[in-house]
């Protein structure tokens, strides 16, 4: 079953009764609503006047829902995660921490090759020459020592949007604001899947920033970024006003968890595909496999 993504932008009181999420609107005449907690995959709390009970938080975490908090600027700043995400968590973390450097370099090589390949297919779908990207994807070495990721990114972003002088930057002009928001949602989806697979999202295979609590999530989400890019490009092509990150635009980006992606020969919702990716990652740490499973943009 595809889990639901709930997005709260107004003052709301969230409580629980009979394993249902009860949504009340204290400043409105609207009637309360109930939603089965087991149906919820992600909860985005945007408004600063949302009140949520500890009972709701506990039940959502027990059902492995991702709870995302937003700041006063309505941007995601936090992800509430469970202390225990898998029954074999201690054993799985041990294998993750004991992963050899050659294995990590091989996994990063596969990750970057998959990312660049997907970027190539995205450009091809837009009738943009992508031969260079496919060539670079095949040339990625262990650990990406020649930094093909960066080379591919320069080419990709130069051609992807039909916008004058666009530069991909965290603090750049629109549609960077849409990309940032979409990547934040993707990061939460990835962290949730890693925790559910019994791994620490903070211990990466490549990213090592000591101030980053989601290094492994940032590693594993790389080949999935193109799905955010395509959603954003669809918004850009619709000629909507993208200078401000409106509620309508956010709702469009929050379709991300349920969009279909092609993985291992069949289509799956992105959240399910991500779980397959993190499961395959653990099998690599365990020594059962040397290949991590990533989606292919089609």
Cα R_g (the chain), whole angstroms: 20
Residues with Cβ within 8 Å of residue 25, at least 6 apart in sequence? 10, 11, 12, 13, 32
Assign 62 to helix, strand or coil: helix
Q: Give CA–CA dist 103/54, Å, rounded.
A: 41
CATH 3.100.10.20 fits 4-80, yes or no: yes
Cis peptide before 175 (omega within 30 of 0): yes
Please calculate the CA angle 245-78-183 and round it to the nearest 5 degrees: 50
User: Would you say 148 and 119 are in contact if contact means Cβ atoms under 8 Å apart?
Assistant: no
Residues with Cβ within 8 Å of residue 265, at least 6 apart in sequence? none
Please calculate the CA angle 149-153-155 and round it to the nearest 5 degrees: 125
195 CB-contact burial (10 Å; exposed 0-12 / middle 13-18 / buried 19+)? buried
**Number of other CB atoms surrounding residue 106 within 10 Å:** 18
Paired tokens of 215:
């290094």
The side-by-side arrangement of strands in the sheet containing 13-17 is 33-36, 20-24, 13-17, 51-52
Name the H helices within the chain: 54-62, 89-97, 101-125, 131-139, 148-159, 176-196, 215-220, 225-237, 247-253, 270-286
Q: State residue 52 phi and psi, 5-degree precision.
A: -135, 135
User: Would you say 128 and 159 are in contact if contact means Cβ atoms under 8 Å apart?
Assistant: yes
Handedness of CA 280, 218, 233, 46 (dihedral sign): positive
Q: Where are the domains of the chain?
A: 4-80, 89-286
Residues linked to residue 70 through DSSP beta bridges, in sequence order: 76
Torsion, Cα 271 272 273 276, to 10 degrees, reads 120
Tokens 């190539």 label which residue? 120
Binding site residues, as ranges?
A: 149, 207, 222
Paired tokens of 123:
């450009």
Report the pLDDT value the prediction gives residue 1, as an integer from 0 to 100: 67
CA 263 to chain centroid, in Å, comes to 16
Q: What residues in the chain have per-residue pLDDT under 50?
A: none
CA 259 to chain centroid, in Å, comes to 12
Structural fold of domain 89-286: 1.20.120
Instruction: State how far the alpha carbon of 281 is from the alpha carbons of 82, 235, 271, in Å.
Output: 20, 33, 15
Binding site residues for Mn(2+), as ranges?
A: 149, 207, 222
């Amino acid at each position: 079953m595809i889990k639901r993504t709930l997005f709260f932008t107004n003052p709301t009181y969230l409580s629980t009764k009979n394993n249902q999420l009860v949504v009340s609107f204290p400043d409105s005449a609207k009637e309360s609503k109930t939603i089965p907690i087991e149906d919820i995959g992600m909860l985005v709390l945007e408004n600063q006047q949302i009140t949520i009970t500890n009972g709701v938080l506990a039940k959502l975490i027990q059902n492995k829902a991702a709870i995302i908090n937003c700041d006063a600027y309505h941007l995601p700043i936090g992800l509430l995660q469970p202390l225990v995400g898998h029954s074999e968590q201690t054993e799985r973390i041990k294998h993750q921490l004991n992963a050899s450097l050659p294995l990590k370099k091989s996994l990063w090589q596969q990750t970057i090759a998959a990312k660049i390949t997907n970027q190539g297919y995205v450009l091809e779908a837009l009738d943009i020459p992508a031969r260079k990207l496919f060539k670079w994807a095949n040339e990625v070495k262990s650990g990406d020592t020649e930094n093909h990721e960066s080379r591919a990114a320069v080419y990709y972003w130069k051609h992807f949007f039909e916008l004058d002088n666009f530069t991909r930057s965290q603090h750049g002009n629109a549609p960077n604001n849409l990309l940032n928001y979409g990547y934040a949602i993707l990061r939460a989806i990835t962290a949730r899947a890693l925790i559910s697979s019994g791994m620490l999202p903070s211990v990466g295979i490549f990213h090592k920033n000591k101030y980053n609590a989601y290094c492994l999530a940032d590693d594993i989400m790389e080949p999935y970024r193109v799905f955010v890019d395509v959603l954003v490009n669809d918004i850009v092509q619709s000629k909507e006003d993208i200078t401000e990150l409106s509620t309508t635009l956010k709702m469009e980006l929050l379709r991300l968890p349920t969009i279909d992606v092609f993985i291992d020969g069949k289509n799956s919702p992105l959240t399910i595909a991500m779980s397959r990716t993190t499961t395959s990652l653990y099998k690599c740490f365990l020594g059962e496999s040397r290949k991590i499973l990533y989606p292919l943009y089609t």
